[in-house]
Amino acid sequence: MVDFASAITERIVQGNRRVNRGTWTNSATGAKNIDTGLRVVTSMKIQQTAVSNAVSATAPTINETLPCDGSAVTIVTTGNTDNGNWIAEGF
């Protein structure tokens, strides 16, 4: 069983910038890495879609200083069934 998986669902080119979107599925708490498909991420947002706890204080967070390497953007989750969407901008 895979504890964490992420996938790119859309790739957009805007001049010399790129915006990639995707999803993640999670079955374990802790730090996980999302491969955004970008060399460098300058901006990123995540949104939880499936929540294991009803308390909003358990929302996942991005644990990086931007800009960062786009092949391993670390997010931290506290619920073991937290799934979500992400959007990253960069190069």
Beta-sheet strand order (sheet of 61-62): 30-34, 73-77, 61-62
Q: What is the pTM of this model?
A: 0.88
Stretches in the chain below the pLDDT threshold 70: 1-2, 50-57, 79-81
Arch. (CATH architecture) of 4-90: Sandwich (2.60)
Residue-wise pLDDT for 52-77, tens only, equals 555 556 778 999 999 999 999 999 98
Q: Copy the structure tokens of residue 15.
A: 């001049």
Of how many residues is the chain composed? Answer: 91
